[in-house]
């Protein structure tokens, strides 16, 4: 039963029918693990880059980078054209790319399902989706 303590505790916070609760718990992700938009200022992006590498950019690359960094807030989230463009302009600039990767890393955390996330990290610590068998093993949850 101790194996299911996290399930029992989470189950108590859900509402609805047993089937509804199963759907809710299997759809949960660990709080704070969902990727967030990487909304950054142009200064944050430039400060993450190596000045020595920026100094080697061609005039065309500088123009492209300037266009990508226009505005007071830049969406550098995974999959955006801005992120792809900045990466393309800085291709081969290893220090700058490493600095930018570190800058956006906190925003790139993948969503983790509650059920398989370790209990110590706020998850259920189970091996797969919660089933009726798990509910029975956890003491007959309904």
Count of the separate structural domains present in the chain = 2
Range(s) of the domain holding residue 70: 39-107
Residues 98 and 68 grouped into a single domain: yes
Of 85-89, 106-110, 135-139, least confident by mean pLDDT is 106-110
Q: Is residue 142 part of a domain?
A: no
3-state SS class at 26: helix
Of 5-14, 30-39, 109-118, 125-134, least confident by mean pLDDT is 30-39
Residues 96 and 48 grouped into a single domain: yes
Residues 46 and 103 grouped into a single domain: yes
Residues 58 and 96 grouped into a single domain: yes
Residues 47 and 97 grouped into a single domain: yes
Residues 70 and 122 grouped into a single domain: no
CA distances to 46, 67, 101, 124 from 88, rounded to whole Å, are: 15, 13, 14, 40
Residues 60 and 102 grouped into a single domain: yes
């Amino acid at each position: 039963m101790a194996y299911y303590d996290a399930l029992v505790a989470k189950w108590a916070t859900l509402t609805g029918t047993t089937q509804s609760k199963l759907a809710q718990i299997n759809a949960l992700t660990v709080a704070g693990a969902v990727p967030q938009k990487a909304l950054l200022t142009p200064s944050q992006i430039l400060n993450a880059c190596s000045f020595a590498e920026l100094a080697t950019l061609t005039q065309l690359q500088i123009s492209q980078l300037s266009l990508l960094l226009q505005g007071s807030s830049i969406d550098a989230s995974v999959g955006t054209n801005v992120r792809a463009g900045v990466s393309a302009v800085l291709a081969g600039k290893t220090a700058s790319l490493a600095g930018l990767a570190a800058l956006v890393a906190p925003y790139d955390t993948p969503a983790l399902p509650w059920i398989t996330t370790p209990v110590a990290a706020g998850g259920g610590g189970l091996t797969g989706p919660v089933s009726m068998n798990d509910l029975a093993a956890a003491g007959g949850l309904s």
